[in-house]
Structure 1
Amino acid sequence: MFRCIVAAAAIALASGHALANGHGGGDSPPPPKPEATTAPAKVVLTKQGPKLVDLKGMTLYYYERDTTGKTSNCNGKCTESWVPLAATTDAKAVGDFTVINRNDGSKMWAYRYRPLYTSPADKAPGDANGNAMTLQWRIARPGD
Protein backbone atom coordinates (compact mmCIF):
# COMPACT_ATOMS: atom_id res chain seq x y z
CA MET A 1 0.00 0.00 0.00
CA PHE A 2 2.82 2.42 0.92
CA ARG A 3 4.46 1.76 -2.49
CA CYS A 4 1.21 2.67 -4.25
CA ILE A 5 1.02 5.99 -2.39
CA VAL A 6 4.66 6.84 -3.19
CA ALA A 7 4.16 5.89 -6.85
CA ALA A 8 0.95 7.93 -7.05
CA ALA A 9 2.69 10.94 -5.46
CA ALA A 10 5.59 10.70 -7.93
CA ILE A 11 3.18 10.50 -10.89
CA ALA A 12 1.14 13.40 -9.54
CA LEU A 13 4.23 15.59 -9.11
CA ALA A 14 5.53 14.77 -12.61
CA SER A 15 2.20 15.26 -14.33
CA GLY A 16 1.32 18.35 -12.27
CA HIS A 17 4.37 20.19 -13.68
CA ALA A 18 3.45 19.17 -17.22
CA LEU A 19 -0.19 20.15 -16.77
CA ALA A 20 0.72 23.50 -15.27
CA ASN A 21 2.69 24.48 -18.38
CA GLY A 22 0.04 23.12 -20.72
CA HIS A 23 2.47 21.34 -23.00
CA GLY A 24 4.42 18.93 -20.85
CA GLY A 25 7.79 20.06 -22.16
CA GLY A 26 8.92 22.01 -19.12
CA ASP A 27 9.73 25.69 -19.19
CA SER A 28 9.98 27.21 -22.64
CA PRO A 29 13.22 29.01 -23.46
CA PRO A 30 13.13 32.80 -23.24
CA PRO A 31 12.61 34.67 -26.50
CA PRO A 32 15.85 35.67 -28.23
CA LYS A 33 17.18 39.05 -27.21
CA PRO A 34 17.62 41.63 -29.93
CA GLU A 35 21.27 42.24 -30.80
CA ALA A 36 22.71 45.09 -28.83
CA THR A 37 24.37 47.57 -31.12
CA THR A 38 27.47 49.15 -29.70
CA ALA A 39 28.36 52.72 -30.55
CA PRO A 40 31.69 52.96 -32.40
CA ALA A 41 32.97 55.73 -30.14
CA LYS A 42 32.60 57.22 -26.69
CA VAL A 43 32.94 60.60 -25.01
CA VAL A 44 35.88 61.31 -22.70
CA LEU A 45 36.41 64.41 -20.60
CA THR A 46 39.69 66.29 -21.08
CA LYS A 47 41.08 69.62 -19.84
CA GLN A 48 39.96 71.08 -23.18
CA GLY A 49 36.45 69.72 -22.74
CA PRO A 50 34.67 66.55 -23.86
CA LYS A 51 35.81 64.83 -27.06
CA LEU A 52 34.99 61.70 -29.02
CA VAL A 53 37.41 58.79 -29.06
CA ASP A 54 37.21 55.41 -30.75
CA LEU A 55 36.86 52.25 -28.66
CA LYS A 56 40.68 52.11 -28.31
CA GLY A 57 40.73 55.61 -26.84
CA MET A 58 42.19 57.32 -29.94
CA THR A 59 41.00 60.87 -30.66
CA LEU A 60 38.45 61.24 -33.46
CA TYR A 61 38.42 64.12 -35.92
CA TYR A 62 36.10 65.52 -38.56
CA TYR A 63 36.92 67.29 -41.82
CA GLU A 64 35.27 70.66 -42.41
CA ARG A 65 34.77 69.84 -46.11
CA ASP A 66 32.51 66.90 -45.20
CA THR A 67 29.26 68.82 -45.30
CA THR A 68 26.64 66.63 -46.99
CA GLY A 69 26.41 63.96 -44.32
CA LYS A 70 26.32 61.27 -47.01
CA THR A 71 29.90 61.02 -48.28
CA SER A 72 33.48 61.59 -47.24
CA ASN A 73 35.68 64.11 -49.04
CA CYS A 74 38.84 62.43 -47.73
CA ASN A 75 39.73 59.76 -50.28
CA GLY A 76 42.88 58.37 -51.88
CA LYS A 77 46.07 59.96 -50.52
CA CYS A 78 44.08 61.84 -47.88
CA THR A 79 43.42 58.55 -46.07
CA GLU A 80 47.18 58.16 -45.48
CA SER A 81 47.02 61.16 -43.13
CA TRP A 82 43.45 60.71 -41.92
CA VAL A 83 42.21 57.17 -41.35
CA PRO A 84 38.42 56.75 -41.72
CA LEU A 85 36.72 55.13 -38.72
CA ALA A 86 35.78 51.91 -40.49
CA ALA A 87 32.35 50.33 -40.14
CA THR A 88 31.47 46.75 -41.01
CA THR A 89 29.34 46.07 -44.08
CA ASP A 90 26.36 45.20 -41.87
CA ALA A 91 26.78 48.13 -39.42
CA LYS A 92 23.59 49.96 -38.48
CA ALA A 93 23.11 53.47 -37.14
CA VAL A 94 23.02 53.76 -33.36
CA GLY A 95 22.10 56.97 -31.56
CA ASP A 96 23.92 59.93 -33.16
CA PHE A 97 26.22 57.58 -35.10
CA THR A 98 25.41 56.82 -38.73
CA VAL A 99 27.11 54.78 -41.45
CA ILE A 100 28.39 56.46 -44.62
CA ASN A 101 29.40 54.79 -47.89
CA ARG A 102 32.88 55.69 -49.13
CA ASN A 103 34.03 56.13 -52.75
CA ASP A 104 35.94 52.83 -52.60
CA GLY A 105 32.80 50.94 -51.55
CA SER A 106 33.78 50.57 -47.89
CA LYS A 107 31.76 52.03 -45.02
CA MET A 108 32.71 54.38 -42.25
CA TRP A 109 31.15 55.86 -39.12
CA ALA A 110 29.89 59.41 -38.84
CA TYR A 111 28.76 61.38 -35.81
CA ARG A 112 25.72 63.57 -36.43
CA TYR A 113 26.37 62.96 -40.12
CA ARG A 114 30.02 64.12 -39.98
CA PRO A 115 32.44 61.34 -41.05
CA LEU A 116 34.94 60.42 -38.34
CA TYR A 117 38.68 59.85 -38.73
CA THR A 118 41.73 59.06 -36.63
CA SER A 119 45.18 60.55 -37.17
CA PRO A 120 48.38 58.49 -37.51
CA ALA A 121 50.07 61.43 -35.73
CA ASP A 122 48.36 60.23 -32.54
CA LYS A 123 50.48 57.43 -31.10
CA ALA A 124 48.68 56.74 -27.82
CA PRO A 125 45.14 57.03 -26.45
CA GLY A 126 44.41 60.63 -25.54
CA ASP A 127 46.87 62.16 -28.03
CA ALA A 128 45.43 64.98 -30.15
CA ASN A 129 48.33 65.75 -32.50
CA GLY A 130 46.15 65.76 -35.61
CA ASN A 131 44.38 68.93 -34.52
CA ALA A 132 47.48 71.08 -35.11
CA MET A 133 48.18 69.76 -38.64
CA THR A 134 45.66 71.91 -40.50
CA LEU A 135 42.79 74.19 -39.69
CA GLN A 136 40.38 72.11 -41.78
CA TRP A 137 40.46 69.22 -39.31
CA ARG A 138 38.82 69.46 -35.92
CA ILE A 139 38.55 67.24 -32.87
CA ALA A 140 35.10 65.67 -32.86
CA ARG A 141 33.15 66.79 -29.81
CA PRO A 142 29.71 65.69 -28.63
CA GLY A 143 28.29 69.19 -29.14
CA ASP A 144 29.39 69.34 -32.82
Structure 2
Amino acid sequence: MNTATRLTFCLISSLSAALLPAGAARADEVMKKDGILVNAAGMTVYTFDKDTAGSGASACNGPCSDNWPAVAPSASVTAPYSVITREDGARQLAYQGKPLYLFKKDTKPGDRNGDNFKDIWHVVKN
Protein backbone atom coordinates (compact mmCIF):
# COMPACT_ATOMS: atom_id res chain seq x y z
CA MET A 1 0.00 0.00 0.00
CA ASN A 2 1.52 3.33 -0.99
CA THR A 3 1.62 6.43 1.21
CA ALA A 4 -1.23 8.22 -0.58
CA THR A 5 -3.49 5.18 -0.21
CA ARG A 6 -2.64 4.86 3.48
CA LEU A 7 -3.33 8.54 4.09
CA THR A 8 -6.64 8.32 2.25
CA PHE A 9 -7.67 5.26 4.30
CA CYS A 10 -6.70 6.99 7.58
CA LEU A 11 -8.59 10.14 6.61
CA ILE A 12 -11.74 8.22 5.66
CA SER A 13 -11.56 6.15 8.87
CA SER A 14 -11.12 9.27 10.99
CA LEU A 15 -13.95 11.12 9.28
CA SER A 16 -16.28 8.13 9.62
CA ALA A 17 -15.61 7.97 13.35
CA ALA A 18 -16.03 11.73 13.74
CA LEU A 19 -19.37 11.73 11.94
CA LEU A 20 -20.96 9.20 14.29
CA PRO A 21 -23.34 10.87 16.74
CA ALA A 22 -22.17 11.06 20.34
CA GLY A 23 -22.92 7.81 22.10
CA ALA A 24 -23.58 5.93 18.87
CA ALA A 25 -22.46 2.34 19.04
CA ARG A 26 -20.26 0.91 16.33
CA ALA A 27 -20.56 -2.71 15.27
CA ASP A 28 -18.71 -4.64 17.91
CA GLU A 29 -17.70 -8.11 18.96
CA VAL A 30 -18.81 -9.04 22.46
CA MET A 31 -16.74 -11.49 24.48
CA LYS A 32 -16.43 -12.99 27.93
CA LYS A 33 -13.78 -11.52 30.22
CA ASP A 34 -13.46 -12.13 33.96
CA GLY A 35 -16.94 -13.69 34.05
CA ILE A 36 -18.77 -10.81 32.35
CA LEU A 37 -19.47 -9.70 28.80
CA VAL A 38 -17.41 -6.83 27.39
CA ASN A 39 -17.03 -5.32 23.94
CA ALA A 40 -13.79 -5.45 21.93
CA ALA A 41 -12.57 -2.30 23.71
CA GLY A 42 -13.06 -4.01 27.09
CA MET A 43 -16.09 -1.88 28.01
CA THR A 44 -18.68 -3.56 30.23
CA VAL A 45 -21.95 -4.67 28.64
CA TYR A 46 -25.30 -4.37 30.46
CA THR A 47 -28.93 -5.50 30.30
CA PHE A 48 -32.03 -3.55 31.35
CA ASP A 49 -34.73 -5.13 33.54
CA LYS A 50 -37.50 -3.34 31.62
CA ASP A 51 -36.53 -5.25 28.45
CA THR A 52 -38.37 -8.53 27.87
CA ALA A 53 -36.20 -11.37 26.57
CA GLY A 54 -37.30 -12.51 23.14
CA SER A 55 -39.59 -9.53 22.51
CA GLY A 56 -37.35 -8.18 19.76
CA ALA A 57 -37.63 -4.68 21.23
CA SER A 58 -35.71 -2.30 23.49
CA ALA A 59 -37.44 -0.43 26.31
CA CYS A 60 -34.55 2.08 26.44
CA ASN A 61 -35.25 4.73 23.81
CA GLY A 62 -35.04 8.52 23.58
CA PRO A 63 -33.19 10.12 26.52
CA CYS A 64 -32.52 6.69 28.04
CA SER A 65 -30.40 5.73 25.05
CA ASP A 66 -28.25 8.85 25.50
CA ASN A 67 -26.86 7.34 28.73
CA TRP A 68 -27.19 3.71 27.69
CA PRO A 69 -26.10 3.40 24.04
CA ALA A 70 -27.04 0.19 22.28
CA VAL A 71 -24.37 -2.33 21.38
CA ALA A 72 -24.44 -2.58 17.59
CA PRO A 73 -24.18 -6.08 16.12
CA SER A 74 -21.26 -7.20 14.00
CA ALA A 75 -21.90 -8.55 10.52
CA SER A 76 -22.05 -12.14 11.75
CA VAL A 77 -24.16 -13.01 14.80
CA THR A 78 -24.67 -16.54 16.12
CA ALA A 79 -26.56 -17.99 19.11
CA PRO A 80 -26.79 -17.16 21.97
CA TYR A 81 -26.65 -13.71 20.33
CA SER A 82 -29.35 -12.23 18.13
CA VAL A 83 -30.26 -8.87 16.62
CA ILE A 84 -33.26 -6.66 17.37
CA THR A 85 -34.44 -3.53 15.57
CA ARG A 86 -34.81 -0.46 17.77
CA GLU A 87 -37.61 2.17 17.57
CA ASP A 88 -35.30 4.40 15.52
CA GLY A 89 -34.59 1.59 13.06
CA ALA A 90 -31.05 0.92 14.32
CA ARG A 91 -29.96 -2.66 14.89
CA GLN A 92 -28.95 -3.77 18.39
CA LEU A 93 -27.16 -6.86 19.63
CA ALA A 94 -29.05 -9.06 22.11
CA TYR A 95 -27.82 -11.88 24.36
CA GLN A 96 -30.26 -14.67 25.14
CA GLY A 97 -32.95 -12.41 23.70
CA LYS A 98 -32.16 -9.36 25.88
CA PRO A 99 -30.81 -6.19 24.23
CA LEU A 100 -27.26 -5.18 25.21
CA TYR A 101 -26.05 -1.72 26.21
CA LEU A 102 -22.97 0.22 27.21
CA PHE A 103 -23.03 2.88 29.96
CA LYS A 104 -22.00 6.46 29.21
CA LYS A 105 -20.33 6.86 32.63
CA ASP A 106 -18.01 3.90 32.05
CA THR A 107 -14.96 5.74 30.78
CA LYS A 108 -12.30 3.03 30.70
CA PRO A 109 -12.16 -0.73 30.20
CA GLY A 110 -13.19 -2.61 33.32
CA ASP A 111 -15.46 0.15 34.68
CA ARG A 112 -18.76 -1.23 36.01
CA ASN A 113 -20.41 2.03 37.06
CA GLY A 114 -23.78 0.94 35.68
CA ASP A 115 -24.03 -2.35 37.58
CA ASN A 116 -27.22 -2.33 39.67
CA PHE A 117 -27.86 1.29 38.66
CA LYS A 118 -31.34 2.10 39.99
CA ASP A 119 -31.62 -1.68 40.59
CA ILE A 120 -32.62 -2.17 36.92
CA TRP A 121 -29.31 -2.20 35.02
CA HIS A 122 -26.99 -5.18 35.34
CA VAL A 123 -23.63 -6.40 34.13
CA VAL A 124 -24.10 -9.44 31.90
CA LYS A 125 -22.52 -12.32 33.80
CA ASN A 126 -21.46 -15.31 31.81
TM-score range, shorter chain: 0.7 to 0.9
Q: Does 1:52 align with 2:41?
A: no
Runs of 4 or more off by more than 6 Å in structure 1?
A: none
Q: Distance in 2 between the 1:52 and 1:121 partners?
A: 17
Q: TM-score, normalised by structure 1?
A: 0.64
1:79 aligns with 2:65: yes
> Is residue 106 of structure 1 aligned with residue 95 of structure 2?
no
TM-score (norm 2): 0.72
The alignment partner of 1:80 has SS state of helix
State which structure, 1 or 2, has the greater radius of gyration over its C-alpha atoms.
1
The equivalences for 1:1-144 within 5 A come to 40-45=29-34, 50-69=35-54, 70-87=56-73, 91-142=75-126
Are the structure 2 counterparts of residues 136 and 71 from structure 1 closer, same or farther at C-alpha, using a change threshold of 3 Å?
same
Asked if the contact 1:59/1:127 (under 8 Å) is kept, the reply is yes
Change (3 A) 1:125 1:64: same
AA matched with 2:93: W
Which structure 2 residue ranges, 5 or more long, are not aligned? 1-27
Pairwise CA RMSD: 1.5
Q: Secondary structure at the match of 1:129?
A: coil
- Report how far residue 43 of structure 1 moved: 0.5
Unaligned runs of 5+ in 1: 1-38
How many aligned residue pairs are there? 98
Shift of 1:40: 2.2
Task: Considering fraction of residues, name the structure with more strand.
Answer: 1
Percentage identity across paired residues of the two chains:
35
**Looking at both structures, which has the greater relative contact order when contacts are Cα pairs under 8 Å and sequence separation is at least 6?**
2
